Structure 1
Amino acid sequence: MNRSGLLQYSLWPDTALLDAVQTGNEGAFEEVYKRYCYRLFTMAYRKLKSREVAEELVQDLFAVLWAKRTEGPIQNLEAYLFTALRYRIINYVKSQRVRDGYALYCRIAQSDATHNTEEQLAQQDLNTALKAGLDRLPEKSREVFRLSRLEHRTVPEISGRLHLSEKAIEYHITKSLKLLRGYLQDFLLVTWPLLIWITKI
């Protein structure tokens, strides 16, 4: 298109340009783009603070305008363009919030899963260490500990069941706790609540 043609379109009012665009006139469409592109971009950039997103929304608006140029009458070209861009901005912000919310949900879920996995592994390690520690106790001390801390029997009950004096039962409990503390010292930081339960008399 020659320069005189471009200058001619620049003198046309919006209504004439719009009529020409609706008939497929590319020169008229180019003039509409030149006339409103920067103003639309400025509006989008002011709202979104992103040059890339602002350009994308404006380009999409003009692409749709051309693709649907024969669909439905537009009464006011300027009002149509700015209103259409405003809706695009709103929809973009909404979709961005959804994406951000979903990303946050994924991070939290992943963090919880990692945390739960670490707790499960720590618990498994503790169970293994506790079992190994119990197996290392002398047989009589192991039996007394099992009845006292795992079956929650009282000292008199254990005494009667094993035919040992109550002082002997207390001795075995004290001895078992002392040995287990040594066996489990590597797990103290992750198992202190359980150790409190174990050592509670």
Structure 2
Amino acid sequence: MLSPSSGKYASYSDVDLLAALRTDDQGSFAEIYQRYCYRLFTLAYQKLKSRETAEELVQDLFENLWNRRASHDIQQLEQYLFSALRYRIINYIKAQQVRAGYELYCRLGASEADSNTEDALAVNELSTALLASVRKLPAKTREIFQLSRLEQYSVAEISGRVNLSEKTVEYHITKSLKLLRSYLRDFLMLVVAGFWYL
């Protein structure tokens, strides 16, 4: 929990706050948080309609800002914060799309014992398609995708494990989701259409 910033920081410009933040000044960080937290949360909530998810994305954004305070090269604080949040929202939505396909696979798999031969074939086909799609990913992208989406590591944790910058890790995650959607799009549309008509 952040302690409130002292009154002196309220008069600081964003440029002054960033300069102070680079020197590990916790008061400047608290002021940035107070200045932008509610507006960022409001944007995330409007896009995702989930209070919990909106809070998590905003907290992750501020945690990243603090952890990388010395290395950030931010010119416009407000523009940076809102752009970074939009990027997180897009990544979250993309991850949900991949997860939805995987959940459909699990639902079909769970009912396999009671299903007819067509259902069993659909499960096998989807399983094969998912595995083949993941295998098609370039090696580093596949490794980062598995750490992020299957093992639930954060971007910062993955960055440390694979010795790449967080920006590069985010690039690989975005790339993997884009490629998987491309590989699975036609197949999943057929399976989903068939699933709803069972």
- TM-score (normalised: structure 1): 0.54
| Cross-structure match for 1:66 | 66
SS at match of 1:93: helix
| Cross-structure match for 2:100 | 100
Q: CA deviation at 1:105?
A: 1.5
Distance 1:63 1:97 in 2: 25
4+ residue stretches of structure 1 with deviation over 4 A?
none
Q: CA deviation at 1:44?
A: 0.2
- 1:31 is aligned to 2:27: no
Distance 2:113 2:71 in 1: 52
- 1:109-120 counterparts in 2 under 5 A? 109-116=109-116
Question: What value does the CA root-mean-square deviation take over the aligned residues?
Answer: 2.2
| Cross-structure match for 1:15 | 15
Deviations 1:7-51 (A, max 9, x none): 110010000000100110000000000000000000000000000
Q: CA deviation at 1:103?
A: 0.4
SS at match of 1:69: coil
Deviations 1:84-103 (A, max 9, x none): 00000001111111111110
| Cross-structure match for 2:46 | 46
SS at match of 2:88: helix
User: Gaps spanning 5+ residues in structure 1: where?
Assistant: 118-201
**Total equivalences in the alignment:** 116
Bigger drift between 93-102 and 103-112 goes to 103-112
- TM-score (normalised: structure 2): 0.55
Distance 2:98 2:108 in 1: 15
Task: Output the amino acid matched with 1:11.
Answer: S
Distance 1:81 1:72 in 2: 12
- 1:1-201 counterparts in 2 under 5 A? 6-116=6-116
Q: CA deviation at 1:114?
A: 2.2
| Cross-structure match for 1:177 | none
Identity percentage of aligned residues: 59
